[in-house]
Amino acid sequence: MRKALISGITGQDGSYLTELLLQQGYQVIGMVHPPTTITYEYIRPFEKDITLVNGDLMNQPLLEKILTEHEPDEVYNLAAMSFPPASWDSPLMTGETTALGVTRLLEAIRKTNPKTRFYQASSSELFGLAVESPQKETTAFHPRNPYGVSKLYAHWITINYREHHGLYAVSGIMFNHESPRRGLEYVTRKITHSAANIKKGLLDKLSLGNLDARRDWGYAGDYVRAMWMMLQQETAHDYVIGSGETHSVRELCEIAFGHVNLDYHDYVTVDPHFYRPPEEVLLVADPTRAHSHLGWVPSMSFKDMICLMVDSDLQIISS
């Protein structure tokens, strides 16, 4: 039985990855950071099937102890300060966890068992002020917030440990991926949750920023499958993972509200407070390498994903 250690197991990606690995017959060890206010809601259904350990990306001796005790074959680092705009409020903590935390984990792997395979969750925030569109593995990076800068350090330190120490260490440059487990601070879940609440008569209006802003959105369940596939290859490579298409916030509203037989025009208002600086070059993935090398393709369409999220929010409200 193969073993996998997941940091950030309680989040959206961690919970979907846990489900996938359990289906593949893995023994899953989840690293959590106490004391925590993070909910265990997403892993509650299979909590009895996994092992949870107290860990901290700021504490390398503890990381080494965990790795020595549990001897995982694969390590998935999904822990980070996960909301890019908020990284301006805590830039130092963002750097300590999202950047240096990865170094500590890689160093712990090198010292305890360099044959352990390592996955680092990179982000499309690396591209930031993009120089070309779509973006692929060779596109120049230009992050525009502390989160993106920290992720860039983590991305490059992973490459350096692969090249210098010979570790099987890869990064998945993930574009936006959503699901019913997405946090309410993200615009996708904000819209689906609001549409469900308005349908139930619990909310009157929804304020949003630029409705014409476009993003490359995919389904989180598909993206964690790509993470796993990256660690099953003979040779370690980094991959851009995304749908390769963009959709506007307006289209998102049309689908979400239309799914509950409402017209978004009647409920959505535009508030300049929520506007972000315009992007000179559109952020959209070129996942050609993932398609050709991994055989990875998304299984869920954008529309089906949004409808799934609305249905989930309706169920949550009704329960």
Q: Are 177 and 222 in contact (CB under 8 A)?
A: yes
Among 147, 168, 223, 264, which one carries the catalytic annotation?
A: 147
Q: How far apart are CA 289 and CA 297, in angstroms?
A: 11
**Is 292 among the catalytic positions?**
no
Determine whether 16 is an active site residue: no
- Under DSSP, is residue 285 helix (H, G, I), strand (E, B) or coil? strand
Query: Does the active-site annotation cover 125?
Result: yes
Q: Which of 15, 123, 179, 194 is catalytic?
A: 123
Contact 180, 41 (CB under 8 A): no
d(CA 43, CA 19): 9
112 burial via Cβ count (<10 Å: 0-12, 13-18, 19+)? middle
Considering 19, 64, 74, 125, which one is annotated as catalytic?
A: 125
- The DSSP element (H or E) to which 249 belongs, if any, is helix 249-259
Handedness of CA 46, 76, 227, 126 (dihedral sign): positive
Residues annotated as catalytic are 123, 125, 147
